[in-house]
Amino acid sequence: MTKSLSTLLLVWLGTMSGMVSAAEPAVSDEARSPQAATPEAEVKPNRNDNANVRKGSNANKMEKVTVTGGRLSDLDERRLSTASKLVFGREELDRNGDSTVGEILKHLPGVTIGGRPGRGGEIRMRGLGNGYTQILINGERAPRGFSMDSLSPDQIERIEVIRGPVAEYSTQAIAGTINIVLREEVQLNQTQLRLSDGIEQGRNAPNLSVTYPGQIGSLSYLLSGSVFQNRQKDFVVTDNQGFDPQGQASLNQEVVDDSERRTHGIHFTPRFNYRFDNGDSLMFQPFVMQSQSRTQGISQLSQSVGPTPPYAAANWTGSSDSSMLRSFGNWQHRFDDNARLNLKFGMGASRSDSSTLRAQYDGNGTLLDRLVDTNAVRDQTASIGGKYTTPLGEGHVLGFGWDGEWGRRTQTRVSLDNGSAQFPDSGEDLNANTRRLAAFMQDEWEINAQWSTYLGLRWEGIHTASTTTAATLANESAVWSPVLHGVWRIPGSPKDQLRMSLTHSYRAPSLADLIALPALSRLNSPTSPDRIGNPALKPELATGMDFAFEHYLERSGIFSANAFIRSIDNLMRRQTTLQPAINGARWVSAPINIHHAITGGIELEAKFQLIEFVENAPAIEFRSNYSRFWSRVDDIPGPNNRLDQQPRQTANLGVDYRLASVPLTLGGNLNWTPAYVVQTSESQTARAGVKRQVDIYGLWKFTPNTQLRISANNLLHHDYLTGSSMATGSVNQLAAVSARTFTTLMARLEIKI
Q: Give the model confidence (pLDDT) of 298-331 as tens digits.
A: 999 999 998 889 999 999 999 999 999 999 999 9
What is the Cα–Cα distance from 392 to 338, expressed in whole angstroms? 10
Q: Which residues contact 474 (CB under 8 A, 6 or more apart)?
A: 463, 464, 465, 466, 535
What DSSP letter does each residue of 379-412 carry, written as one string?
EEEEEEEEEEEEEEETTEEEEEEEEEEEEEEEEE
Backbone phi, then psi, for 100, in 5-degree steps?
A: -130, 160
Look at residue 448 in the predicted model and tell me its pLDDT: 92
Look at residue 13 in the predicted model and tell me its pLDDT: 37
Task: Identify the CA nearest to 200 among candidates 690, 714, 692.
Answer: 714
CB atoms within 10 A of CB 161: 21
Q: Give the model confidence (pLDDT) of 68-78 as tens digits.
A: 445 678 888 88
Q: Which residues contact 378 (CB under 8 A, 6 or more apart)?
A: 349, 350, 351, 409, 410, 411
Average pLDDT, the chain: 86
Look at residue 51 in the predicted model and tell me its pLDDT: 34
Question: Is residue 469 predicted with pLDDT exceeding 80?
Answer: no
Rounded mean pLDDT of 287-296? Answer: 94
| Least confident range of 46-50, 91-95, 498-502, 542-546 | 46-50
What's the total number of domains in the chain?
A: 1
Per-residue HEC secondary structure of 695-743 comes to: EEEEEEEEECCEEEEEEEECCCCCCEEEEEEEECCCCEEEEEEEECCCC
Kindly report the pTM of this predicted structure. 0.83
| pLDDT-based confidence at residue 181 (cuts at 50, 70, 90) | confident
Own/partner pairs, 333-340, CB within 8 angstroms, 24+ separation: 333/279, 333/280, 334/37, 334/38, 334/279, 334/280, 337/390, 337/391, 338/34, 338/37, 338/390, 338/391, 339/388, 339/389, 339/390, 339/391, 340/30, 340/387, 340/388, 340/389, 340/390
Write out the residue range of the structural domain in which residue 194 sits: 2-752
Task: Identify the CA nearest to 622 among candidates 635, 611, 606, 637.
Answer: 606
Angle at CA 295, nearest 5°, toward 293 and 299?
Answer: 160
Q: Give the model confidence (pLDDT) of 229-272 as tens digits.
A: 999 999 999 999 999 888 889 999 999 999 999 999 999 989 99
Backbone phi, then psi, for 523, in 5-degree steps?
A: -125, 70
The length of the chain in residues reads 753
Look at residue 43 in the predicted model and tell me its pLDDT: 35
| pLDDT-based confidence at residue 145 (cuts at 50, 70, 90) | low
Bridge partner list, 679 = 685
Give the Å distances, CA to CA, from 738 to 116, 306, 524, 637: 10, 22, 19, 28
What is the Cα–Cα distance from 244 to 251, expressed in whole angstroms? 9
* Domain CATH number, residue 446: 2.40.170.20
Give the Å distances, CA to CA, from 682 to 488, 550, 575, 640, 734: 45, 41, 10, 11, 15
Residue 501 vs residue 417, higher pLDDT: 501
Question: Is residue 40 predicted with pLDDT exceeding 70?
Answer: no
- 153 DSSP 8-state letter: G
Angle at CA 691, nearest 5°, toward 689 and 694?
Answer: 160
What is the Cα–Cα distance from 138 to 346, expressed in whole angstroms? 11
Q: Which residues contact 566 (CB under 8 A, 6 or more apart)?
A: 174, 542, 543, 544, 598, 599, 600
| pLDDT-based confidence at residue 150 (cuts at 50, 70, 90) | low
Q: Give the model confidence (pLDDT) of 703-730 as tens digits.
A: 989 999 999 999 999 999 999 999 987 8
Question: Is residue 152 predicted with pLDDT exceeding 80?
Answer: no
Question: Is residue 457 predicted with pLDDT exceeding 60?
Answer: yes
| Least confident range of 39-43, 157-161, 373-377, 401-405 | 39-43
What is the Cα–Cα distance from 676 to 631, expressed in whole angstroms? 13
- Whole-number CA gyration radius for the chain: 27
Look at residue 57 in the predicted model and tell me its pLDDT: 38
